[in-house]
Amino acid sequence: MSNSFGSFPLRENRLVRSPSLRLDSTGQSTTMPSHHHHHLHAALRPSPLPSSSSTQSFASKIIALLTLLPLSLAALAFVLQWKGDRGLTDPTAAHARWAPRGSHNHEIFPGMESSSSVLSTKPHHSSDCSSLVRSGSPSFPYFRDWKFDYDSNLRPKICITTSTSAGLNQILPWLYFHKVIGVSTFFLFVEGKAASPDVSEVLQSIPGVKVIYRTKELEEQQARSRIWNETWLSSFFYKPCNYELFVKQSLNMEMAIVMARDAGMDWILHLDTDEMMHPAGASEYSLRQLLLEIPGNVDMVIFPNYESSVERDDIKDPFSEVSMFKKNYDHLPKDSYFGMYKESTRGNPNYFLTYGNGKSAARIQEHLRPNGAHRWHNYMKTPNEVKLEEAAVLHYTYSKFSDLTSRRDRCGCKPTKEDVKRCFMLEFDRAAFIIASTATEEEMKNWYHEHVVWGDKELKLKLLRKGILTRIYSPMVIVQGLRESGVFSSVIASAETTLLKDNFLASIGSNNSAKAVGSESPPSRKMGGHREQQATGRKVLELDTKTAHEKAVPPLSPPGVDEIFAE
């Protein structure tokens, strides 16, 4: 019996009831076949350790799992990226939530309609548009197919006025960035490169953009402005360069107020095309939301300015390449500001290279007037103003090395210490003009590195920790997203198509319209006759002397270290 069970020993008393034994017909016990014994003992013996074959099977399953898991994750990533490449849902759809809370229509994106949804990388005739086309790097085109539709029920309605001679590579990113954050209308007073056909035709094709050329008619109209008979701007009259620009900006702002009122705007800002709004502190990154939260009794909102702090000398597109800014005095503790003043100025005349008194937005109302390029005022009252503690204007000043020569080329003053005082209001502008007019290319580069570029990593880290310097990425991300989505190239391509069509239609109807063309200028090149009569026929108001003669606010430097003792 023990042999039939092979090497598995039987335990005592356990075979009495074992089904391995059975009685035959004679009553004798017989033994079951050996294979029955094997199954019996397989059930009775303890489980043995896994055999080598089962170990190999388990290892094979692990290898298969490790192989399939990465493949599955790769497939999922491909599906997600494919969906992302289709772009985000058009925020003009009913479920979009880009309108600020509290406006009349919270479901509409606060922008303007672009001219075409067709994406194109066709180069424009202007040589400065290469930075506007999409790059070859992978991206998620979040702005693709966004219509920038603007709804008249959205409140508040915001407009920006500017005087510019820049090209499309600067104006388009600046303009569409402000569309994204809620600006609906732009009054562009153009001259120089901005007034050239290659640039102005693109700008005119964008909904919500009004292009005003510096024509003879415009100059004649502004020569009749009441500003020339008032004293608040008189100290800037008949002076060259920056003073002349300052007067021109004020006259343009005066005209923009009339256009903004006619367009039903609620707020107006004056910005240069090297300045971007940074609506920090609002519940959304939206200038519309920020101004919506301003109390109704406030007439003017002051935005302290931050100044770009470049870290290289080869920057081509500041809006996409600059992320470090020096904070304004108004947004810093006095101990930090004055305690780090020497390190912050790095031997320059002032804390900021250029101005430090910010820009402002004014509520559209009766008797509103400009008060220089930085402020607004009212003929009948002193405006109630507030200064915001987080929002700012980002000023990209001297952010490109070529800014040295471009500023020099716009001014015909002599590069002497005495003559530059006649032309420039700020000390750094004077020094930069002299260097750009007298130094060699290498000397200019060295001067730019010493006074503008932040190359000292330890100093940067120290000032970042103290809060003097700060990193702001939002404008960079938005502009890069617009570019990679083909927004800029689409606008340029659409304008070219429209121009070809218009030229064709104009050639067909030229004989019928010759008299009309000879009798009046194109409506986009000057203000309408009705507005001109309205401006010249304005009645003289009985003004409070103090209010009427509030002096224009020029660009001012931030407080100097010597003001510690003055306080």
Token pair recorded at residue 491: 């606008």
- Work out the number of other CB atoms within 10 angstroms of the CB of residue 171: 23
pLDDT at position 129 over 60 = yes
Give the pLDDT band (50/70/90) at residue 135. Answer: low
Give the pLDDT confidence score for residue 19 in this predicted structure: 43
- Pick from 140, 192, 108, 208: which is nearest to 491 by CA? 208
Helix (H/G/I), strand (E/B), else coil: 321? helix
pLDDT at position 145 over 60 = no
Give the pLDDT confidence score for residue 476 in this predicted structure: 96
Which 3-state string (H, E, C) describes 499-517?
HHHHHHHHHHCHHHHHHHH
Name the CA radius of gyration of the chain, rounded: 37
In this predicted model, which residue has the larger pLDDT, 92 or 205?
205
List pLDDT tens digits, range 22-80. 444 444 444 444 444 444 344 444 444 445 667 777 888 888 888 888 888 888 877 77
Task: Give the contacts of 503 (CB within 8 A, at least 6 positions apart).
Answer: none
Give the mean model confidence (pLDDT) for residues 310-334.
97
Buried/exposed 327-345: b ≥16 CB within 10 Å, e otherwise: bbbbbbeeebbbebbeebb
pLDDT at position 140 over 90 = no
List pLDDT tens digits, range 154-179. 889 999 999 999 999 999 999 999 99
Average pLDDT, the chain: 78
Task: Give the contacts of 289 (CB within 8 A, at least 6 positions apart).
Answer: 100, 101, 102, 182, 279, 282, 283
Give the mean model confidence (pLDDT) for residues 534-546.
37
Q: Using CA of residue 450, residue 452, residue 455, residue 456, what is the dihedral sign? A: positive
Give the mean model confidence (pLDDT) for residues 303-331.
97
Give the pLDDT confidence score for residue 37 in this predicted structure: 44
Cβ atoms of 547 and 379 within 8 Å: the answer is yes
pLDDT at position 20 over 50 = no
List pLDDT tens digits, range 463-494. 999 999 999 999 999 999 999 999 999 999 98
Give the pLDDT confidence score for residue 66 in this predicted structure: 84
Cβ atoms of 533 and 153 within 8 Å: the answer is no
Token pair recorded at residue 388: 């915001």
Cβ atoms of 289 and 367 within 8 Å: the answer is no
- Pick from 468, 166, 217: which is nearest to 328 by CA? 468
**What are the DSSP calls for 240-299, one per residue?**
-THHHHHHHHHHHHHHHHHHHHHTT-SEEEE--TTEEEE-TTSSSS-HHHHHHTS-TT--
Give the pLDDT confidence score for residue 60 in this predicted structure: 82
Q: In this structure, what DSSP letter does residue 349 have?
A: S
List pLDDT tens digits, range 393-423. 999 999 999 999 888 888 889 999 999 999 9
Q: What angle do CA 162, 495, 410 make, to 5 degrees?
A: 35
Token pair recorded at residue 403: 């800014």
Cβ atoms of 253 and 392 within 8 Å: the answer is no
Instruction: Tell the burial category of 511 from Cβ atoms under 10 Å away from its Cβ (0-12, 13-18, 19+).
Output: exposed
Answer yes or no: pTM beyond 0.85: no
List pLDDT tens digits, range 430-465. 999 999 999 999 999 999 999 999 999 999 999 999
Give the pLDDT confidence score for residue 234 in this predicted structure: 95
Residue with tokens 């080598």: 52
List pLDDT tens digits, range 183-203. 999 999 999 999 999 999 999
What percentage of the chain reaches a pLDDT higher than 70? 68
Q: Calculate the CA 163 to chain-centre distance.
A: 19
Give the pLDDT confidence score for residue 65 in this predicted structure: 83
Cβ atoms of 258 and 268 within 8 Å: the answer is no
pLDDT at position 557 over 50 = yes
pLDDT at position 527 over 60 = no
Which long-range CB contacts under 8 A does 55-64 form with residues at least 24 apart? Answer: none
pLDDT at position 295 over 80 = yes
pLDDT at position 83 over 80 = no
